[in-house]
Structure 1
Amino acid sequence: MPATSPNATIALAAGGTGGHLFPAEALARELQRRGHAVVIYTERRGAQYTKALEGIPHVVLPARSLAGGIGGKLAAALVIARAALAARRDMKRRRVALLAGFGGYPSFAPAVAARTLGLPLLLHEQATRLSVANRRLLGSAAALATSFPQVSGTDDFDPARMTETGNPVRAEILAARGDYPGLSADTPIELLVVGGSQSARVFGDVVPPALLALPPDIRSRLRVALQYRGDDADAIAARLREAGIDADVRPFFDDMGARLRAAHLVVTRAGATTAADLLVVGRPAIFVPIPHGGSREEQRRNADTLADAGVGWCVPEPELTVEKLSGLLGELFASTIKLPQAAAIAASMGRPQAAADLADLVERMLARGTR
């Protein structure tokens, strides 16, 4: 089948977290806008993002991490083989011409299926270091798109096949672009606290007492949106309000674009998709990288890179004490210069055209029939 067949489909594979799925969604919608047929392969967690997948054909495949001992790896290999066979059948039925992989272990099986069919594989890396899945697939990739100029783990890959596109962001994030909200000594201060798609317990433990420790004149100006899943969410909101803080505490915000647009400062993890959203909208942040798991090193690198650029401040979770956070917040909120300066740097680094640039790369690969 020629790669340029008019009935061909472009497939995308993404892990089950928002950090992997949202960039895939952004590319899928850009390709749909250009008239291409698309399909997203993900796993059950990814399928829970019903708003992101609305109107996009998608297939839910079994998935399992390769982490663990010999028994775990064997079990994972069987799951991956089953998923790869299912993906292969679906790709043949849809006449898939190319697969774009966005990382996460659920993207591995569709990539294997694509290679058995001789399809070109485009990998997209959101972070400053190749993910485990992308690292294992890199040798089979026809091209690699990156979000940053320098990505660790790519030394052996042909630079001519690498393209810096940036990290695609969702339409609601693009719509949130605009001037940084005015900040003076007497205006309200909008603080957004989010822990990624999985939330973050530490933010519920440390942020509220840090806010309560702020001077009364700052507390009275604060409007806080805190993403928190704990059973004591109502009690936390009540304590903040009693201290004069306008607080909205919820387990999940489904209007992230509007909240980012309103925010003067964001307290957040340092996932690559979170970083891309912040840069596109142009908002400064206090980054608290995840302290454990496979994302630990990736998030620390992201946070350090952005902090060094002047976009925000990196506070490793072991150092995130009530006293340290309260002191930093007090310093930032007492200044009318520091946050706007960081916001301007963030906006200068944003890549709002990333989805379009990545779609251009896909179309160039299709035109060349790249393998």
Structure 2
Amino acid sequence: MPDSASRRPTIALAAGGTGGHLFPAEALARELQGRGFGVVLHTERRGAQYTAALEGLPHVVLPASSLEGGVLAKARAAVTIARGVLASRRDLKLRRAALLVGFGGYPSVAPALAARSLGLPLLLHEQATRLSKANVRLLRFADALATSFPAVDGVGGFDPARIVQTGNPVRRAILDARGDYPAFDATGPLRLLVVGGSQGAAVFARVVPPALALLPEALRRRLQVSLQARDGDPQALQDSLRAAGIDATVRPFFDDIGTRLREAHLVITRAGASTAADLLAIGRPAIFVPLPHGGSRAEQRRNAQTLAQAGAGWHVAEADFTPEALSRQLADLLASPTRLPDAARAAAALGRPDAAARLADLVERRLARSASVPHGAAA
């Protein structure tokens, strides 16, 4: 319900059900709340499962469906989206929302269409290096596009004056963990963090432990490893690493991910946009192993390539991610006094820890102009 005590309008946000879409929306929502705005987040059932991210944030769970598939699948999806549009319209009208920010993912389509049907300004945010399918469909309705990277493929003929690089908003838990790169020398501990992102990565549990066991004993004795393993037996993995002389902690999930990122010398991870934003905000180098195959997963490959070309890490295709290859790569990186610290500096140079504030500034500028500037004017 609307907050009658709020002196500033309500801003609606729409996000898909993955962490890569929901976490940036959460970061913006909390920034807007801090500025006195009311907020509401429209998502779907998967997004609603991120209870910690949604704590204290009004949110609406809408029916949602992808438009992928054959004719019958598309017809069913269209009916589901239509139901989502009607439900979103009702909520936007009830809360007297003044603007909607869409963060991609197919569940963001219905709220965006609902907002436009009510004549509300629509801002889109793109986390990746290529416009997502949802944002491609919605771009013609948008007043402005905010991007995470300097260049984003797929924007077509959209007015460049309405494209603003804000960076990708990151959670407060990540921002609070920012700090200097940990001391890195020839004798001290070597902290390795292995995480699979919101979709997990069973391949890391298969490849990383045997790769570490192949390292020289002197390196193994210095390692302090945090490994996220959601499948299989985390305790057995931890026991096998410790039997190899490695100080290891293996868990299905790390509640203190910010702290572990700050302390890490190197991260092994997927290459989702939210993961990349977290690493850049803190300034930590990574070995990026993007999700395999094509389609939307190609976004991770492009993200990994972009970050590797910028010197912020290394891109390894999953087909090449073997225990032997990883062990050789780790031995080379850990033996060099400069490669990891240099990559950390490159990552930090790309980071936008103020991305949520930049995006909130864009929201405020659009609101200020909406009363006097015709729809579609430059942001």
TM range (shorter): over 0.9
1:240–1:246: 8 Å Cα contact kept in structure 2?
A: yes
* 1:355 corresponds to: 356
* 2:303 corresponds to: 302
* 1:243 corresponds to: 244
SS in 2 for 1:152: coil
* 1:36 corresponds to: 37
Of residues 231-240 and 83-92 in structure 1, the stretch that sits farther from structure 2 once superposed is 231-240
1:199–1:251: 8 Å Cα contact kept in structure 2?
A: no
* 2:194 corresponds to: 193
> Is 2:287 the counterpart of 1:286?
yes
For 1:259-278, what aligned pairs fall within 5 Å after superposition?
259-278=260-279
2:23–2:171: 8 Å Cα contact kept in structure 1?
A: yes
* 2:257 corresponds to: 256
Give 1:6 deviation, angstroms: 4.6
In 1, Cα distance between the equivalents of 2:70 and 2:11? 35
* 1:315 corresponds to: 316
Deviations 1:254-275 (A, max 9, x none): 2211111010000001111111
Task: Tell me which amino acid in the other structure corresponds to 2:137.
Answer: R
In 2, Cα distance between the equivalents of 1:66 and 1:128? 22
> Is 2:137 the counterpart of 1:150?
no
For 1:178-217, what aligned pairs fall within 5 Å after superposition?
178-217=179-218
In 2, Cα distance between the equivalents of 1:303 and 1:264? 18
> Is 2:23 the counterpart of 1:22?
yes
Task: Tell me which amino acid in the other structure corresponds to 2:68.
Answer: A
Q: Which structure 2 residue ranges, 5 or more long, are not aligned?
A: 1-5
Aligned length: 367
Task: Tell me which amino acid in the other structure corresponds to 1:267.
Answer: I
In 2, Cα distance between the equivalents of 1:48 and 1:137? 25
2:7–2:36: 8 Å Cα contact kept in structure 1?
A: no
Deviations 1:252-302 (A, max 9, x none): 112211111010000001111111111110000000011136432211111
Task: Tell me which amino acid in the other structure corresponds to 2:267.
Answer: V
* 1:325 corresponds to: 326
C-alpha distance 76-293 of structure 1, shift in aligned 2 (>3 A) = farther
Give 1:235 deviation, angstroms: 1.2
Deviations 1:162-182 (A, max 9, x none): 101011111111111110000
Give 1:161 deviation, angstroms: 0.7
In 1, Cα distance between the equivalents of 2:341 and 2:9? 47
SS in 1 for 2:41: strand
1:7–1:95: 8 Å Cα contact kept in structure 2?
A: no
Identical counterparts, % of pairs:
69
- What is the TM-score when the length of structure 2 is the normalising length? 0.95
Give 1:105 deviation, angstroms: 0.6
Give 1:232 deviation, angstroms: 2.4
In 2, Cα distance between the equivalents of 1:304 and 1:113? 36
Q: Which structure 1 residue ranges, 5 or more long, are not aligned?
A: none
* 2:3 corresponds to: none
Give 1:185 deviation, angstroms: 1.1
SS in 1 for 2:173: helix
For 1:64-103, what aligned pairs fall within 5 Å after superposition?
64-103=65-104
Give 1:198 deviation, angstroms: 1.5
SS in 1 for 2:63: coil
Deviations 1:40-97 (A, max 9, x none): 0111111111111111111111111111111111111111111111010000000011
SS in 2 for 1:123: strand
In 2, Cα distance between the equivalents of 1:285 and 1:295? 22
1:228–1:250: 8 Å Cα contact kept in structure 2?
A: yes
In 2, Cα distance between the equivalents of 1:164 and 1:7? 25
SS in 1 for 2:178: coil
In 2, Cα distance between the equivalents of 1:276 and 1:267? 15
1:193–1:203: 8 Å Cα contact kept in structure 2?
A: yes
* 2:107 corresponds to: 106
SS in 2 for 1:305: helix
* 2:231 corresponds to: 230
1:289–1:317: 8 Å Cα contact kept in structure 2?
A: yes
In 2, Cα distance between the equivalents of 1:144 and 1:195? 29
Give 1:217 deviation, angstroms: 0.7
In 2, Cα distance between the equivalents of 1:260 and 1:120? 37
